């Protein structure tokens, strides 16, 4: 790919200015990942995402560069995480089973599924259920990417000439559905997501805010993401 001298210089300046953003996002993500994932690998992949963002950013779309770059950086890091293939298949299978049980209970009752109801539906004890949720929390990151949109379909888009108008409409509809699903979460789950993704607090800091242990925060976070998946089944399975 060939860039103009002016565009190249602007991109270099953006990369230098926002390199700390890559480190911040990497350290934010690493707190939820197993020890086998190295923060240096995330930073390296994140820098690639930042470089791509610097060259492709279009200020005319109205979004700030930091917002756009953050999406690209996270997307690159998620790609790196997938390459490691460190998540056991059982984690995905159990999370899907939980999401299915939650979906069925909430469809039947018209309210939030309670932990004991999900455990009963799965035929396991409440303690086993909580253990399964904790295991899932080590292998699940909540992002638009994990909900079925890859890094080239970010909310701001890359190239208006290459985008499918219908895909853009579908994406906008998905974002509205996702926003409504988050807003309908139980208050504690919604608060944890807000503190983690909007305020960018780590799990330990959130635990201090809520006066609970870090492991409990991790459990609440995972419960929230699985509940969201259960409520977005129509989208994630399409």
Which residue ranges make up each domain of the chain?
A: 88-140+185-238
At 2, is the pLDDT very low, low, confident or very high (cuts 50, 70, 90)?
A: very low
179 vs 170: CA distance, rounded Å? 14
Percentage of the chain lying above the pLDDT 70 cut: 75
- Integer Cα distance of 91 and 165 in angstroms: 36
pLDDT digits (tens, 9 = 90+) for 169-185: 666 777 778 888 888 99
**Residue 152: CB partners within 8 Å, gap ≥ 6?**
158
Q: Which of 29-38, 46-55, 68-77, 111-120 has the lowest mean pLDDT?
A: 29-38
- State residue 186's pLDDT score: 93
- Helices 126-137 and 214-231, axial angle in degrees (round to 10): 90
Sign of CA dihedral 220, 196, 85, 156: positive
The model's pLDDT over 80-123, given as tens digits with 9 standing for 90+, comes to 776 765 566 777 788 889 989 999 999 999 999 999 999 999 99
Q: What does the alpha-carbon distance between residue 89 and residue 215 come to, in Å, rounded to a whole number?
A: 22
């Amino acid at each position: 790919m060939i860039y103009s001298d002016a565009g190249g210089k602007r991109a270099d300046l953006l990369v230098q200015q926002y390199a700390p953003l890559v480190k911040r996002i990497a350290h934010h993500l690493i707190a939820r990942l197993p020890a086998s994932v190295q923060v240096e690998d995330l930073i390296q992949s994140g820098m690639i995402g930042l470089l791509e963002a610097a060259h492709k950013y279009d200020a005319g779309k109205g979004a700030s560069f930091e917002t756009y770059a953050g999406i690209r950086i996270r997307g690159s890091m998620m790609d790196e995480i997938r390459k490691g293939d460190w998540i056991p298949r059982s984690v995905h299978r159990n999370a899907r089973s939980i999401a299915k049980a939650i979906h069925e209970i909430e469809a039947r009752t018209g309210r939030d599924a309670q932990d004991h109801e999900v455990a009963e539906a799965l035929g396991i004890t409440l303690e086993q259920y909580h253990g399964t949720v904790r295991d899932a929390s080590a292998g699940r990151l909540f992002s638009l990417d994990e909900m079925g949109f890859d890094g080239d379909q970010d909310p701001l888009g890359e190239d208006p000439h290459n985008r499918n108008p219908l895909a853009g409409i579908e994406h906008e509809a998905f974002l509205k559905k996702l926003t409504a699903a988050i807003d309908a979460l139980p208050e504690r789950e919604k608060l944890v997501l807000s503190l983690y993704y909007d305020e960018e607090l780590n799990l330990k800091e959130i635990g201090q805010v809520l006066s609970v242990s870090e492991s409990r925060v991790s459990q609440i976070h995972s419960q929230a993401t699985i509940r969201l998946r259960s409520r977005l089944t129509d989208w994630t399975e399409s």
